Structure 1
Amino acid sequence: MSHPLRHTVNCSLLFTELPLLERPEAARRAGFSAVEFWWPFVEAVPPDRQVDAFVTAIADAGVQLTGLNFVAGDMPGGDRGLVSWPKRSSEFRDNVDVTVGIGERLGCQGFNALYGNRDDASSEREQDDLAVENLALAAGVAGRIGATVLVEPVSGADRYPLRTAADALGVIDRVQAAYDVPNLGLLADLYHLAVNGDDVDQVIADHTDRVAHVQIADAPGRNEPGTGTLPLDRQLSALAANGYTGWVGLEYKPSTSTDESFGWLPFDRR
């Protein structure tokens, strides 16, 4: 790997052989200094003791929390966010303060707001208008701690409307045209973009300045780098050359054990 970027371990897909609260320490033992998570609780507003236990696990491991998803519904069941889902919008709004509160305690600077699938009960326009409101609300709260709300194109979910970088940037543009919130950025998951047929090299060439977080997995398969055909090292080098200085989230499914799946990355590069 020739790029200078730092890696952070997505502990919602990696170290799943361990209980959730043991994963930050496992990441540190594997040589990493940072972790990220999808929403790690069942409810949008979990009990304080659960929040405290999560914060403590990360603090005690001595790793940096680089990213946290807002509540996104039942991800294994196919949900992909609540931002544009009228029936569950209030859950998202209740969750914003909790998520940003965790981020404030741990110095987290990026919060991923998954947009949500299309919903037969509402028009696309109704959903998109709601998403603009909810993203502006989230950005306002995140802005109080100097953090950024991330908008992510996703693959593998047929009813998720943001598939390309242009789709996500269009949403961000709408929010910023309607509300004075500068702190929204593209979450460029190079795996999702590639699988959806986006021109990843062109996205990097044109929009690195709008990329607030990067995630990677190889394709096909969504396993660790080197198991597929994506030119991840070259693309990460291009991002760095274009001025991206943020984290690279390892958001892949290990093809073997989690520890073995880090074989592509020398220990001193973690």
Structure 2
Amino acid sequence: MPRFAANLSMMFTEVPFLERFQAAADAGFAAVEYLFPYDHPAEEVAAARRDAGVEQVLFNAPAGDWAAGERGLACLPDRQEEFDRGLETALHYAEALDCPRIHVMAGIPRPGGELDAAGRAAAREVHVRRVRQAADAAAAAGRRVLIEPINPVDMPGYLLDSMREGRDVLEQIDHPAVGLQLDLYHAQITDGDLTRLIRSAADVVEHVQIASVPDRHEPDGGEIDLDHVLGVLDDVGYAGWVGCEYRPAGETRAGLDWFHRRAGSGRADRRGSGA
């Protein structure tokens, strides 16, 4: 059975961010992930992680003005300097948190509008170049970079909008320090056929995330058979973490029966190491 990491951007929001590490540990999670840690100094976040005794397995590099709708800088041609600063910041936090992976978000190249073929090709060229740059820096620091396809319902206009697109871009990037982040919530919406998708992408997937579809609540509801897809991950030899990137339908702990049934207390997982 895969090991589960609590997503602290969505789970345990009943308490302030720095308290969520201990809340996740108390609930039985051995690891955490989240979108962004940058509202707090790296040393404070690292202390919260250390005190809770959980592993940090993933977070995102700075993604621009999130409140204004930006979702990454990697494909935006006029944001090189900001991308450089963000990458430096992300690597600083990754070192402090002993985090092996950073998700570099592609971005929305034309907010509110459609890209023609030429525009998409130009955006992809910038994206490929920036991810290679990030991967060079990450590899030098002993880290890895992930890219993630995101569905166009939740994030209209995002450059990587399907697993097929993600695989194509990954091949174009062609860098040993870059892998694919497979969010089964997004993949069910964009691609479907999750069994074949997991099997076909097993060689490049380095992190998996789960949530129910269509509501993005606890992952044992909706149209995805959680036990089946977890079994497929076992079958293909996936040894990484499964991030619980879902919005609890109610209070977080009240909705964790699915987790305890499949992971027990989770404490035994602490002996494991991230993929």
Please identify runs of 4+ aligned residues in structure 1 that moved more than 4 A: none
Task: State the match for 2:271 in structure 1.
Answer: none
Matches within 5 A, 1:143-162: 143-155=139-151, 156-162=154-160
Q: 1:99 aligns with which of 72, 90, 94?
A: 90
Q: Supply the distance in 1 between the matched residues of 2:17 and 2:170 (Cα, whole angstroms).
A: 32
Q: Supply the distance in 2 between the matched residues of 1:118 and 1:199 (Cα, whole angstroms).
A: 28
Q: 1:70 aligns with which of 42, 56, 61?
A: 61
Structure 2: gaps spanning 5 or more residues: 267-275
Q: 2:179 aligns with which of 161, 179, 185?
A: 185
Q: 1:39 aligns with which of 36, 40, 50?
A: 36
Report if the CA contact (8 A) 1:215-1:251 is conserved. yes
Residues 105-157 of structure 1, C-alpha deviations (whole Å, 9 max, x = no match) = 32211111111012269933332111111101111111124322111111211
Report if the CA contact (8 A) 1:72-1:114 is conserved. yes
Task: State the match for 1:29 in structure 2.
Answer: 26
> What is the percent sequence identity of the aligned residues?
34
Q: Supply the distance in 1 between the matched residues of 2:84 and 2:211 (Cα, whole angstroms).
A: 30
Q: 1:140 aligns with which of 136, 147, 153?
A: 136
Structure 1 residue 89: deviation in Å?
A: 3.1
Task: State the match for 1:16 in structure 2.
Answer: 13
Q: Supply the distance in 2 between the matched residues of 1:113 and 1:68 (Cα, whole angstroms).
A: 9
Give the alignment's Cα RMSD to 1 decimal: 1.9
**Matching of residue 130 in structure 1 with residue 126 in structure 2:** yes
Please give the secondary structure, in 2, of the residue aligned with 1:86. Answer: coil
Task: State the match for 2:217 in structure 1.
Answer: 223
Q: Supply the distance in 2 between the matched residues of 1:12 and 1:6 (Cα, whole angstroms).
A: 19
| TM-score, structure 1 normalization | 0.89
Report if the CA contact (8 A) 2:2-2:233 is conserved. no
Structure 1: gaps spanning 5 or more residues: 43-48
Report if the CA contact (8 A) 1:142-1:148 is conserved. yes
Instruction: Go from structure 1 to structure 2 and tell me whether the alpha carbon gap of 1:13 and 1:162 turns closer, same or farther (over 3 Å shift).
Output: same
Report if the CA contact (8 A) 1:37-1:68 is conserved. yes
Report if the CA contact (8 A) 1:51-1:102 is conserved. yes
Aligned AA (2:57): T
Task: State the match for 1:46 in structure 2.
Answer: none
Matches within 5 A, 1:101-116: 101-116=92-107
Q: Supply the distance in 2 between the matched residues of 1:208 and 1:76 (Cα, whole angstroms).
A: 34
Q: How many residues align?
A: 257
Report if the CA contact (8 A) 1:85-1:119 is conserved. no
Q: Supply the distance in 2 between the matched residues of 1:88 and 1:52 (Cα, whole angstroms).
A: 28
Q: Supply the distance in 1 between the matched residues of 2:255 and 2:100 (Cα, whole angstroms).
A: 27
